[in-house]
Amino acid sequence: MNARDASTVHPRAHERIWSAYLVVVVAIDVVFGLRGEDPGPRWHAATHLVLLAVVLAIPRLVREERLPLARAVFTAPALLFVFSSLAWVLPALHPEPFEWQWIAADRALFRGDPSVAAQALLHPLVVEALQACYAVFYFVPIAVVIAAWRRHGRVAFEQCLLFVEFGFLLSYQGYLLWPTLPPERFLVHEVPIQGLWLASDLHAALATAELHRWNCFPSGHTMLSVMSLVLAWRFVRGVFWVLLPVVLLLVVSTVALRYHYVVDVLAGLLGVPLAFALGARVIRT
C-alpha cells in the first residue's frame, strides 16, 4: 500500500478499529473476570463500554470535514487510557506470571540471558544514546503521521494514523493475553544503568511512571517503531532515512536497558506484518 491507493480507506475505519478492540476487551473481562471478587474487571468493562459509546458518537457529533481532526484528538488520550487501564484488570485475569516462560525461551535460544550479556555494552555514553532513542519512541509514529499529512494530504494522514492506532491496540491485546514484567525485575544485573547526563534519571522515571507495568510481550516499542518505518518508506522516504538509525538503536535498547526479553522483540517484529495484514482488512473499503 502506498500514497496512490490511500483513497481506499473506509470512511468509518476509525470506528471499526476501536469498536472491535473495545468489544473484545469487554468480552474478555466478562468471561474471565466478572466471576471473581476483584472489582478491577468490572470497572475495566464499564469504562470501556463508555469509551465505545464515545467512539460511536464522534461521527454523529462532528461535521464530516472535521472528523480527521476529531479522531486524531481522540486517539492520543484514548490510547493512553486503555493502556493504563490494563493495570486494573491483569492481576485478576492472570494470577500466574509469564516472565519465567520468556526467560526460559531466551535461555533456550541464546544459552543465557541476553540483557545480562548486554552489560558489556553499557558504557555510560552508550547508555545515554540508547536511553535517548528509547525515550523518543512516541515521537516516531507522530513524526511519520505528520510528515505523511504534509506530503500527501488528508487521506494519507488518516491512513497512517489508522495503522498506528491498529498497531497500538493489537500490542495491547498481547499485554492482555500474556502480561509480562521486564527483565530488570527478575534477573540479576551487576552493572547499573548509568549514563553521563540524563539517562540514569530518565531510566528510573520511565520505570516508575507507567501505571500498567505488564507491558513486555510483545515489545510495543519494537512493533510500532518498525511499523512507523514501513509507513515512512511508503509515504515519506526522507523521514525513513532520518528515523532508521534511531529505530535500530531503539530496538537494541529494549533489551540492553532491560525493558524486554528478546522473545518480546521477536514477537514485536512478527506483529508488524500481522498488524498490516489485519489492519488492511479493517481500514480498506
Q: What is the pLDDT of residues 38-93, one digit of tens each?
A: 788 889 999 999 999 999 999 999 988 888 889 989 999 999 999 999 988 887 88
Q: Is the dihedral of CA 76, 134, 161, 51 positive or negative?
A: negative
- Grid cell 499485554 is found at 175
Portion of the chain with pLDDT greater than 70, in percent: 95
What pTM value is reported for the model?
A: 0.92
Residue 45: half-sphere exposure toward Cβ, Cα within 13 Å:
18
Q: How far apart are CA 20 and CA 43, in angstroms?
A: 19
CA torsion 67-68-73-78 (nearest 10°) is: 90
pLDDT band at 134 (very low <50, low <70, confident <90, very high): very high
Helices marked H in 182-261? 199-209, 220-235, 237-256
**pLDDT value at position 34?**
62
Name the grid cell of 271: 506483529
Q: How far apart are CA 28 and CA 13, in angstroms?
A: 23
Structural domain harbouring 55: 3-283
Residue with the bigger pLDDT between 204 and 76: it is 76
Q: What is the mean pLDDT of residues 164-178?
A: 95
Q: What is the mean pLDDT of residues 127-144?
A: 94
Residue with the bigger pLDDT between 4 and 144: it is 144
Classify the phi-psi angles of 111: left when phi > 0, otherwise alpha if psi is within -120 to 50, otherwise beta.
Answer: left
188 by Cβ neighbours in 10 Å (0-12 / 13-18 / 19+) ranks as exposed
Q: How far apart are CA 33 and CA 89, in angstroms?
A: 8
Portion of the chain with pLDDT greater than 90, in percent: 68
Q: How many domains is the chain built from?
A: 1
Chain mean pLDDT for the chain: 90
Q: For residue 259, which phi and psi values (nearest 5 degrees)? A: -85, -25
Long-range contacts of 46-54 (CB under 8 A, 24+ apart): 47/81, 47/85, 48/22, 48/82, 48/85, 49/22, 51/18, 51/22, 51/78, 51/81, 51/82, 52/18, 52/19, 52/22, 52/23, 52/26
The least confident of 22-36, 110-124, 183-197 is 22-36
The least confident of 17-26, 91-100, 185-194 is 91-100
**pLDDT value at position 196?**
85
8 Å CB contact between 177 and 93: no
Residue 204: half-sphere exposure toward Cβ, Cα within 13 Å:
7
pLDDT at 153 over 60: yes
Residue with the bigger pLDDT between 265 and 193: it is 265
**pLDDT value at position 7?**
55
Q: Which amino acid is it at 104?
A: A
